[in-house]
Amino acid sequence: MSQFPDSPKQSASPAVRFFSGENIPLEMHKVRVVQKLNLPPVEERLAAIRRAGFNTFLLTTREVYLDMLTDSGTNAMSDMQMGAMMQADDAYAGSQSFERMRLAIEEVFGKRFVLPAHQGRAAENIICRTYVKPGDLLPMNYHFTTTLAHIELNGGKIAELLHDEALQISSSNPFKGNMDIAKLRHAITTHGVQNVPLIRMEASTNLIGGQPFSLANLREVAAVAKEHNIPLVLDASLIGENAWFIKQREPEFQQASVADILREMCAQADIVYFSSRKVSSSRGGAICTNWPEIFEKMKALIPLFEGFLTYGGMSMREIEAMAVGLRETTDETVINQSPMFIRYLVERLQAHGIPVVTPAGGLGCHVDAMSFLPHIPQKEYPAGALAAAFYLISGVRGMERGTISSTRDQHGHDILADVELLRLAFPRRVFTLSQTKYVEDRLHWLHTQRQLIGGLRFVEEPPVLRFFMGRLEAVSDWPEKLMQAFRRDFGDSL
């Protein structure tokens, strides 16, 4: 396996190599519209993170220099997308914009029937209402937060069937998102095929660090699904990056185009759904299939929850942008941008001895807070503390993916997360190399000062999804001490 992630074939760009031998992610686009950014001084950042209850979700973008919270709805738009938005055909029913989007989906994903939805979780609502009943079990490689919520809302449970090593922080496994086929067979047999309404595979598995599955594995899952007559559902929200990793890491597909890989991936699944917030940097989403009976089964729910069948809660401008964005997903110089920047940062941080999730994935760079801050017990939220500390000393906003994002058991004790991660998302074609080097520089400095960082405790804790709106405080005066160390080492620098 080790030949894959470190292979010299995986150059910085498929086309351009550097004389220096450095792995520099080269942009195949230029900037034509810009947004001014603001980097408030460290004293203001301390006041801001206090006001935000040490929760980066509660900062405003005015207080943030680089917003690496998420890639959702924050990828850069192309000139082609902006141009297409001007030809939006506003109509309640039968819009030509919808027809253009349907054709793009047919071309890129190879699926003829399209049900529009206003975003990914809305597609999940429609699918789960149709297929999931109390007592059902849904096998999947790994859950996504909104998917799990919709399955549980309809009385179902999930079985997460990754290979055991997929949750190891440091690994050379090129396909951590693969499903363990033996576990899948076991889950179907023990739960009863009649209680397994769907099998779900998620491309670039989000919550384990944007990690891909292989096409060989997807084909095996599809074979088991077919053998048991269970529909296979593909969550294609992050499919472009997964296809690019397949081309990079799976020998059978080295010569294939990303467009061919995308169609081959979708061909394995009976139902493909996606959040266009990730796929194409527009808004919206859709459910697609080639089976008329599957289309008919869900059709009636679209006007009820989303809107008429030719808009599904989206504006025509969003639909036009989605059509163009889907086609751009097949362009390697577009789709390789986030993975290349992520790999660059991961390699630079490793060179400084900073613990990160490897191999580099497709969504963001994930810093391992548990080994960054071994002196902070999990009940004092090391990933949350690292996210707050990093914002304080850099103005860069990441997302906590650890115990704060978890919940409590019936005795009121925290259910400790498997991993404590600070996620630094790389929305597609948004940040430059010098901004990426700034992130590297500030994280490097923070690592040398890590003993100064202390824990957090809740002061306001919502009962559900506490990570969105919860407020915390520092367990000591560590934020002031960290700010003083910053001033000592950086003088009057921002």
Ligand X SMILES: *Cc1c(COP(=O)(O)O)cnc(C)c1O
Catalytic positions are 92, 144-145, 235, 278, 401, 467
Q: 221 near 233, Cβ under 8 Å?
A: no
Residue 97 or 206 with smaller CB distance to ligand X: 206
Task: Tell me the closest approach of the beta carbon of residue 284 to ligand X, in angstroms.
Answer: 8
Q: Which residue type sits at 147?
A: T
Q: Give the separation between CA 470 and CA 451, rounded to whole angstroms.
A: 25
Bridge partners (DSSP) listed for residue 425: 364
**Cβ partners under 8 Å of residue 244, min gap 6:** 258, 332, 335, 336, 339, 362
- Residue 342 interacting with ligand X (CB under 6 A): no
Measured CA distances, 382 to 49, 56, 369, 412 (Å): 16, 14, 6, 19
How crowded is residue 463: how many other Cβ atoms within 10 Å of its Cβ?
A: 7
- From 119-127, 295-303, 463-471, 481-489, give the range in contact with ligand X by CB under 6 A: 119-127
Tell me the per-residue interface mask from 181 to 210 with ligand X, x by CB under 6 A, - otherwise.
Answer: ---------------------x---x----
Residue 379 Cα to chain centre, angstroms: 25
- Residue 74 interacting with ligand X (CB under 6 A): no
- Residue 119 interacting with ligand X (CB under 6 A): yes
**What Rg value do the Cα atoms of the chain yield, rounded?**
22
Give just the sign of the alpha carbon dihedral 110, 115, 116, 119: negative
- Residue 277 interacting with ligand X (CB under 6 A): yes
Residue 56 or 275 with smaller CB distance to ligand X: 275
| Interface pick for ligand X out of 238, 302, 346, 456 (rule CB under 6 A) | 238
**Cβ partners under 8 Å of residue 9, min gap 6:** 248, 254
- Residue 275 interacting with ligand X (CB under 6 A): yes
Which SS3 state, helix, strand or coil, does residue 351 take?
helix
Q: Give the separation between CA 96 and CA 280, rounded to whole angstroms.
A: 19
- Residue 125 interacting with ligand X (CB under 6 A): no
Task: Tell me the closest approach of the beta carbon of residue 330 to ligand X, in angstroms.
Answer: 19
- From 102-110, 115-123, 370-378, 417-425, give the range in contact with ligand X by CB under 6 A: 115-123
Residue 104 or 322 with smaller CB distance to ligand X: 322
- Residue 213 interacting with ligand X (CB under 6 A): no
Residue 66 or 234 with smaller CB distance to ligand X: 234
Bridge partners (DSSP) listed for residue 400: 422
- Residue 57 interacting with ligand X (CB under 6 A): no
Q: Give the separation between CA 446 and CA 466, rounded to whole angstroms.
A: 27
| Nearest residue relative to ligand X (C-beta) | 120
Task: Tell me the closest approach of the beta carbon of residue 363 to ligand X, in angstroms.
Answer: 8
Task: Tell me the closest approach of the beta carbon of residue 465 to ligand X, in angstroms.
Answer: 13
Q: Which residues form the interface with ligand X (CB under 6 A)?
A: 72, 119-121, 144, 146, 202, 206, 235, 237-238, 275, 277-278, 285
